[in-house]
Structure 1
Amino acid sequence: MATIKGTAPAKVNLTLHVTGQREDGYHLLDSLVVFADVADRLGATIAPDLRLQVTGPFAMGVPTDDSNLVMRAAKALQQARGVKLGAALTLEKHLPHAAGIGSGSSDAAITLTMLADLWGVVPLPHDAPEVLALGADLPVCLRAPNPMRMSGIGDVLSPVAGLPDCALVLVRPPVAVPTQSVFKALSDKSGTPMEPLPKGLDFEGFSHWLAGQRNDLLAPASSIAPDVSAAIARLKAQPGVTVAGMSGSGATCFGLVRDMATARQVAKVVQVSQMNWWVAPAAVM
């Protein structure tokens, strides 16, 4: 039986403003999200039940049971659409997990899309309760690869058009930055929203705008893992990097560059100096 395949791109928060906190504990965010062409890969084949195999360079430590978002997404779609079939899923992990680039959420999003096709059912929309129950990053990952402004608790999405061609250097030092710990260490949870993104920006204009925005989780993440600040400093020191920051709650950091040629050169220099860091040049999709 034929296997269908898909890719789950890295989600990069170029900005992340924390603008409030609801009574139920959920934080309100305002974030510019883009997707990079480094990605996990997923394959799916019809099977009598649901099963998951994980391979690839970042397979170690990734569960294959119902604690994996891929399995939770598959079961959510199965139950929402009354599907009796199962699927044999193979997840090839090329993205580090728990790294601030939404790899688990991106994996779950492509699972929902692929299995809807495999099972011949209507896909779940990004604002379906079953999607929101899987996590704050699921709605935006279902809109990949389109750049989005993500606000609310992750459920309010606005398309962003007209970003200039650019590339990223993604860097993750080998440190753990638990999301709950980062939010707990955040002293001010009522920051200002992201400034509106002007239309028609060229690369220089976009770099200038981005440099004026924030990731409010950077300071608490750096206090937990100083290597985050070291990674940003290393990126800022490289010729061609116009802006450097942290994605999500960390620990992955990014350097914004004009093109892939520059991204590859910067990535090579950083990787040679820090052999134990994950470093990846990536085009913005």
Structure 2
Amino acid sequence: MISGHLTQTARAKINLTLRITGRRTDGYHELESLVVFADIADTLTLEPAVHTSLDITGPFAGAIDAATDNLVLKAVNALGALVPGLKGGRFRLDKHIPVAGGVGGGSADAAAALRLLARHNGISFDDARLMTAALRVGADVPVCFVSHACVMTGVGERLSPPLDLPELPALLVNPRVGVSTRDVFAALAKAGLPKDGRALGDIPHDAAGLIEFLKSHGNDLTAPALACAPVIGEVLTALEALPGIRLARMSGSGATCFALFATEAEAQAGESHLAAWHPEWWAAATVLNRTP
């Protein structure tokens, strides 16, 4: 066991693409998604203690309940069911990723908790119990545990080897509207599964080629998410009007959207524009795929 404070960064997950490939008999959907990670992140700290607890601070602390719906504690319980005598402690979460925003904030927090518990209990990161616990907590937790660009398939449990992708300057925007993933998939079921999506195939490794590639591979959850939260359409329209925009898209099941640019200066200028046009929205310039 390691004494003292342990800290992990929980980076926002961005679905550059998301294709729904089918629905299983248990009701879960199969997917194929090219996933990357942003600089925008929560910070999770663990201090050894007899009893496990969670305190939450940060700009989005008020949007979640530490006692009932936080995935950090669910991760502790999931791993504890697999590791007899698991040692926990006092968790402190500094919350900067929008909640229910389609960028895996809760999943990233749960994954960070699993990494902290592994360090605290002397468990190797390649111990299969960690990924088993991750999937039990949520479909996005395994990819957030790895926190590296890859292709995610199945319901989220199958990950490709890490991809060496270029850094992509980006702007993330959330209209401060939470979208229920359950509601989005219900809208998808009502509309019917998409039939014209293409498998990813070979993914370019240069920025210009990657962005052109992404234009042919969208997000199948955009239309059902728009049915649940029409403001997503306003966000995408605003992003597409920004100078230097290369691509605008929704991430995950929404409502967070992202825009890609050629330079960090253009992304930062885009943040300034959005702050003036829509001060009620959350907007943050970032870089995707930056090595931590």
Give TM-score scaled by structure 1 length: 0.94
Paired residue secondary structure (1:238): coil
* 1:35–1:126 distance in 2 versus 1, CA, 3 Å: farther
**What is the deviation of 1:129?**
2.9
The correspondence of residues 153-232 of structure 1 with structure 2, limited to 5 A, is 153-186=155-188, 187-189=191-193, 191=195, 192-200=197-205, 202-232=206-236
Whether contact under 8 Å (2:78, 2:136) holds in the other structure is no
For the aligned residue pairs, the C-alpha RMSD in angstroms reads 1.7
Deviation digits for residues 36-64 of structure 1, max 9, x if unmatched?
01000111011001100011110003111
Specify the alignment match of 1:85 in structure 2: 87
Specify the alignment match of 1:131 in structure 2: 134
Specify the alignment match of 1:271 in structure 2: 275
The correspondence of residues 26-65 of structure 1 with structure 2, limited to 5 A, is 26-65=28-67
In structure 2, the gaps of 5 or more residues are none
Count of aligned residue pairs for this structure pair: 283
Point out the more displaced range, 63-72 or 95-104: 63-72
**What is the deviation of 1:83?**
2.5
Paired residue secondary structure (2:63): coil
Whether contact under 8 Å (2:152, 2:160) holds in the other structure is yes
Tell me, in whole angstroms, the C-alpha distance in 2 between the residues paired with 1:262 and 1:279: 14
In structure 1, the gaps of 5 or more residues are none
Paired residue secondary structure (2:61): coil
Paired residue secondary structure (2:134): helix
Deviation digits for residues 214-243 of structure 1, max 9, x if unmatched?
111101111221110111111111121111
Paired residue secondary structure (2:45): strand
Whether contact under 8 Å (2:198, 2:217) holds in the other structure is no
Tell me, in whole angstroms, the C-alpha distance in 1 between the residues paired with 2:184 and 2:161: 28
Whether contact under 8 Å (1:126, 1:142) holds in the other structure is no
**What is the deviation of 1:174?**
2.3
Paired residue secondary structure (1:105): helix
**Residue 248 (structure 1) aligned to one of 252, 263, 266:** 252
Whether contact under 8 Å (1:45, 1:88) holds in the other structure is yes
Tell me, in whole angstroms, the C-alpha distance in 2 between the residues paired with 1:260 and 1:110: 27
* 1:168–1:126 distance in 2 versus 1, CA, 3 Å: farther
Structure 1 letter corresponding to 2:183: S
Deviation digits for residues 111-160 of structure 1, max 9, x if unmatched?
0001111222344548743221111001111110x101011111111135
**What is the deviation of 1:190?**
5.0
Paired residue secondary structure (1:53): strand
**What is the deviation of 1:272?**
1.4
Paired residue secondary structure (1:275): coil
Paired residue secondary structure (2:137): coil
Point out the more displaced range, 89-98 or 114-123: 114-123
**What is the deviation of 1:82?**
1.5
Q: What is the aligned-residue identity percentage?
A: 40
Specify the alignment match of 2:237 in structure 1: 233
Specify the alignment match of 2:4 in structure 1: 2
